[in-house]
């Protein structure tokens, strides 16, 4: 592969990582309530003359824009947990607004209001905010912008951030493989894009590691958050014989459906044990350290925009090992291997697609792979070592997945 094409592949690392951006429907949080709560917190922080950290960081204020209510579980909930953790770690004043739709005047107004209030670090946490965030960054060179899940950036004040969720997805698949009695595991999937496909494949490879007889059946919903649609898809998978379900959306509808059926639920985004009785474990986000690092860089005046894609070793993604699982020790061993940098899911063994074609063998690509959104761009060819561009443009399903990767 030419250097030019490899550069394209590397630039594509986060290009298709459209994260699931929704929230649990039980939330009663509103944008006005959020603003009010943050105003009270800010007043208390500014009034403390003994707070050295706040004084040191007095010229830095960080604001977060979220696409749906924070709720008590899920994508937006974990971003807010990260905000609160970063605030505590850095002493910097933070604020947020939630329930801000993508691609409209409400987003523009929210960001402009933060700028007018002197917030000089602004983090936007939904894929659809990307283009507008880029525009604001160009118009406000003294403000640092960080966009979560996108791929655009500049060389002055605009970077992007995401996490290697496929790592804990694999471990979750190990638990699912051991838990199923029917050998049918259902996956309620959001949109047929590489980020989701990569997660399905990692999960399915984990299933195969503990139960080579099991299959993972995919049901596409074309939603990030729609409990009705997701619940119906979950029920269809249950009716087809699945006794373990997982999902990629932000609602707990899939968990509720499998609980009522007497099966097992593997969650996503956050620990959902308080919301779903049949919860076993979940790949989860932890944004605190990444957000603290962004804020600390702003405080030190050392910001350098980057496409940051952290993994379990960086703490941004994780999974709890359920002691009740018969493969808990194996799961822990894999987790330790990932943390040590000895295993990264797709870099070892033989990985074949649904037709039995070997795609990757011991970390070496065996076929020509192109960008699904730009078919003329060759991401990797036979003999190339596996690299992030391959993961970021993944468009095939592995052998033990039932369903179409095109939706």
Distance CA 252, CA 271 (A): 11
Q: Counting beta carbons within 10 angstroms of the beta carbon of residue 142, is it exposed (0 to 12), middle (13 to 18) or buried (19 or more)?
A: exposed
Distance CA 187, CA 176 (A): 11
Handedness of CA 254, 29, 88, 164 (dihedral sign): positive
- Residue % of the chain over a pLDDT of 90: 76
Element (H, E) at 310: strand 307-310
Would the pLDDT of 39 be above 50? no
User: What pTM does this model have?
Assistant: 0.83
Distance CA 135, CA 220 (A): 33
pLDDT 10s digits, 81-109? 999 999 999 999 999 999 898 888 999 99
**What residues form DSSP beta bridges with 351?**
360
Structural domains of the chain, ranges and CATH numbers in brackets: 3-163+286-317 (3.40.50.2300), 166-282+320-402 (3.40.50.2300)
Distance CA 364, CA 359 (A): 8
pLDDT 10s digits, 131-161? 999 999 999 999 999 999 888 899 999 999 9
Write 234-243 long-range contacts (CB < 8 A, 24+).
234/186, 234/188, 234/258, 237/186, 237/187, 237/188, 238/186, 238/263, 240/184, 240/186, 241/182, 241/184, 242/180, 242/182, 242/184, 242/185, 242/186, 242/217, 243/179, 243/180, 243/181, 243/182, 243/184, 243/185
Distance CA 350, CA 279 (A): 31
> What single DSSP character describes residue 384?
P
Structure tokens at 150: 């996108």
Would the pLDDT of 59 be above 50? yes
Structure tokens at 247: 């999902």
Contact 8/156 with Cβ under 8 angstroms? no
What is residue 128's predicted lDDT score, i.e. its pLDDT?
84
Q: Which of 23, 338, 12 is nearest to 194 (CA)?
A: 12
């Amino acid at each position: 592969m030419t250097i030019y094409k490899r550069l394209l592949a590397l630039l594509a690392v986060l290009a298709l990582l459209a994260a699931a951006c929704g929230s649990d429907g039980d939330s009663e949080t509103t944008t006005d309530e959020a603003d009010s709560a943050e105003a009270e917190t800010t007043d208390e922080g500014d009034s403390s003359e003994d707070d050295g950290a706040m004084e040191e960081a007095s010229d830095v204020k960080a604001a977060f824009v979220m696409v749906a209510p924070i709720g008590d579980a899920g994508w937006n909930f974990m971003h807010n947990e990260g905000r609160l953790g970063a605030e505590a770690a850095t002493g910097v004043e933070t604020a947020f607004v939630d329930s801000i739709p993508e691609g409209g005047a409400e987003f523009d107004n929210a960001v402009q209001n933060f700028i007018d209030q002197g917030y000089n670090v602004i983090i936007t946490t939904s894929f659809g905010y990307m283009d507008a965030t880029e525009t604001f960054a160009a118009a406000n060179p003294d403000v640092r912008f960080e966009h979560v899940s996108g791929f655009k950036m500049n060389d002055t004040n605009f970077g992007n951030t995401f996490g290697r969720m496929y790592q804990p997805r694999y471990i979750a698949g190990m638990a699912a493989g051991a838990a199923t009695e029917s050998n049918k595991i259902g996956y309620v999937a959001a949109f047929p894009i590489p980020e989701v496909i990569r997660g399905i494949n990692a999960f399915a490879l984990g299933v195969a590691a503990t139960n080579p007889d099991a299959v993972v059946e995919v049901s596409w919903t074309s939603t990030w958050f729609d409990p009705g649609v997701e619940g119906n898809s979950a029920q269809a998978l249950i009716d087809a014989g699945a006794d373990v379900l997982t999902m990629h959306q932000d609602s707990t509808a899939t968990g509720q459906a499998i609980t009522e059926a007497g099966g097992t639920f593997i969650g996503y985004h956050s620990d959902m044990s308080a919301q779903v009785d049949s919860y076993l474990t979940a790949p989860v986000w932890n944004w605190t350290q990444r957000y603290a690092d962004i804020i600390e860089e702003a405080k030190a005046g050392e910001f350098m925009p980057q496409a940051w894609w952290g993994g379990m070793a960086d703490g941004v993604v994780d999974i709890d090992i359920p002691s009740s699982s018969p493969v808990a020790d194996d799961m822990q061993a894999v987790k330790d291997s990932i943390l040590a940098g000895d295993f990264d899911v797709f870099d070892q063994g033989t990985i074949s697609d649904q037709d039995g074609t070997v795609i990757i063998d011991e970390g070496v690509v065996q076929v020509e792979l192109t960008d699904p959104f730009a078919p003329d761009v060759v991401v990797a060819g036979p003999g190339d070592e596996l690299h992030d561009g391959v993961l970021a443009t993944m468009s095939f399903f592995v052998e033990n997945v039932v369903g179409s990767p095109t939706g």
